[in-house]
Amino acid sequence: MPNGVVANERQPQPHIILPEITLSGYEESGQNDIPSVLHQQSYTGDKPVIKSSLADTLCSKLSVNELLEMLNGILGTSYTLEILSKSLQSALRSCIERHYDFGTAYARLRPYWFEYASRDIVEDERNDQDMRIKLLANSKIIDGDTPPRRVWDLYANRVVPYWVVRKDMSAISHAWVNDEELKHVRTPINQNEWSVPIPEDANLDLIRIEMLNLGAEYVWLDVLCLRQKLGKKEKEEHRKKGTKEKLRLEEWKVDVPTIGWVYHEADQVVCYFNGLGRPLGLTLDYFESDRCWFKRAWTLQEMNTAPIIGGRAQTLIAEENILNSFHTLARIQTRKSTKPVDRVAALVYLFYSEYIPIYKAKQRLEGAWTTLCNVTQDWFRTDLFFLYPKPGDGKKFWRPSWNQLMAETERETLRRVLDHHTNRYMGEVKQGPDNFDWYIGPYIESGEVRRLSHGAPKPDESALKKLLKLGRRTSDLKYREQEMDVSAQKKPRRGELCLKDSFGETHTFKIISRPQILNT
């Protein structure tokens, strides 16, 4: 390398031949049995992947030159300390001073190793922190295109901040198993930051091998990348301080609502239908379970056009594309969630909300639904306004309430709405200050309503004659006739609406009027 060339300010070497490496599922997991899933048994390739035993090596036992030599050996370079940028030199020393293990150091340094344009590690971290602080404004997330806070680096087998990586990633979607089937493991993969809940028969190292076989370098997995709740033992340990639980609640305000970004942007989504890391085994009983992947609220936003089945590298025929908001609402009716409000939160990315409400686990359903309607796109509110055929029974009459949409009796209504959906422009329903809504779009300037009176049934003459034979007084008959008139007024009346277009041509539409009878 010529003198004066800084390692991370030059183009990557054109062709570096790396040695082939094999990861054994038997060795990596420490399990006695050979994994039943084919892609979890072993990985062989020439990617710069390291074994877990190497990742666990403490940097504090190495000198700066020894650490540099190890990185050179894995990445096929021959850098010396003198030619590294100041940022990389400082980062090498920092890994030793902070007592990182080699996996963490490797995960944090590899993205900077071949950078053409100089990247400053300290500046990148500061920019990410500033970005996340500015995200929240008035209990809203102002930018829906927010990347995750963390990502799993499969080559290093460590979780690192996203600002280190800044690359495309894969994502894992999985069915949550019952609590009694879970185990909480402490792992260096996430620097033992929190215990990771996974099925009793699952292993993170085997999941890593499967994802490597599927061609992934970086993966987002909720239990590793999203700060989890403390287990019983951890709660006792942190009962006095409470700092970790406070940190989780603060992170979840942004991290939970923006999960949809991960799946929306993911290169591929790998689905474990029977639980994280478990082999596929679909039975008739599985589809009846509330834990079924296809019934869970959150998984609705996790489906992409060509998901991969975990346990088998085959393509799943995805559900048909969502045509409009009511297709999504019809589907969410049958989805299950641990917390009721999660069903509303799972819709945020499916409706392409302009802003994202922060996550509040204890929020009431109607409040969460109102918040979502207030921040979502205009076309979604327009769908609710024009396509739902009934007045709302909540605070807003122009749109349905959450209870209306989720009611069993409304399933047929939603089906009828879907049948009449149109892609034509219908205007926009906007929200202004002071919770005021208004409509902008095509409207009727004038028209003529005809024949509504024809829909009102006449009094039953045979019933009146029968009353006469019984000797009822005239006043009784008049009261009975008035009663029948009121009853008729309460029924829907059919008529016609006649309009003229801009060319003077008349158009007639059949209409139904549902007048409301006011008590006087």
User: What does the pLDDT read at residue 347?
Assistant: 62
What is the full per-residue pLDDT of the chain (520 aa) written as tens digits?
Answer: 333 333 444 344 446 888 899 999 989 998 888 788 889 999 999 999 999 999 999 999 999 999 999 999 999 999 999 888 888 888 999 999 999 999 999 999 999 888 744 567 878 888 888 888 888 777 777 776 788 999 999 999 999 999 998 788 999 988 888 888 899 999 999 999 999 999 999 999 999 999 999 999 999 999 999 999 876 666 666 665 567 888 898 898 888 888 888 888 888 988 888 889 988 775 545 545 665 555 554 555 556 556 777 876 443 333 333 334 545 555 555 555 556 656 565 565 555 555 556 666 677 878 887 777 777 777 778 878 887 778 888 888 888 888 887 775 655 665 555 555 555 667 888 877 777 788 888 778 788 888 876 544 554 555 445 444 444 444 443 444 454 455 555 567 788 889 887 788 888 988 877 665 443 3
| Residue 291 and residue 202 in one domain | yes
Question: Is residue 74 in some structural domain?
Answer: yes
Q: Does residue 271 sit in helix, strand or coil?
A: strand
Do residues 416 and 306 both lie within one domain? no
Same domain, 453 and 500: yes
Which of 319, 352, 378 is the last residue in one of the domains? Answer: 319
Under a CB-based contact definition with an 8 Å cutoff, are residues 356 and 144 in contact? Answer: yes
Of 235, 223, 7, residue with least CA distance to 112: 7
Tell me the pairing of strands 493-500 and 506-513.
Answer: antiparallel
- Do residues 415 and 383 make contact, with C-beta atoms less than 8 angstroms apart? no
Q: Which of 413, 373, 366 is nearest to 393 (CA)?
A: 366
Q: What is the DSSP letter of 227?
A: P
Residues 148 and 296 in one domain: yes
22 occurs within a structural domain? yes
Pick the closest to residue 167 from 88, 118, 86, 110 (CA basis): 110
Residue 353 three-state SS: coil
Based on the domain organization, do 306 and 332 belong to the same domain?
A: no
Count of domains for the chain:
3
Same domain, 413 and 296: no
Domain membership flag for residue 2: no
Residues 358 and 217 in one domain: no
Please indicate, yes or no, whether residues 63 and 191 belong to a single structural domain of this protein: yes
Secondary element (H or E) of residue 496: strand 493-500
Looking at 301, 319, 337, which one is the last position of a domain?
319
Amino acid letter for position 202: A
End-to-end, the C-alpha distance of the chain in Å comes to 95
Do both 39 and 151 map to the same domain? yes
Q: For residue 439, what are the β-bridge partners?
A: 429
- Residue ending a domain, among 319, 352, 384, is 319
In a domain, 282, yes or no: yes
**Helices (H) and strands (E) in the chain — how many of each?**
21, 18
Does one domain contain both 395 and 342? yes
DSSP strand pairing (158-161 vs 437-440): unpaired
Structural domain range at position 506: 448-513
Please check whether residue 148 lies inside any domain of the structure. Answer: yes
Q: What angle do CA 8, 9, 15 make, to 5 degrees?
A: 70
**Looking at the structure, do residues 147 and 248 belong to the same domain, yes or no?**
yes
475 and 422 belong to one structural domain: no
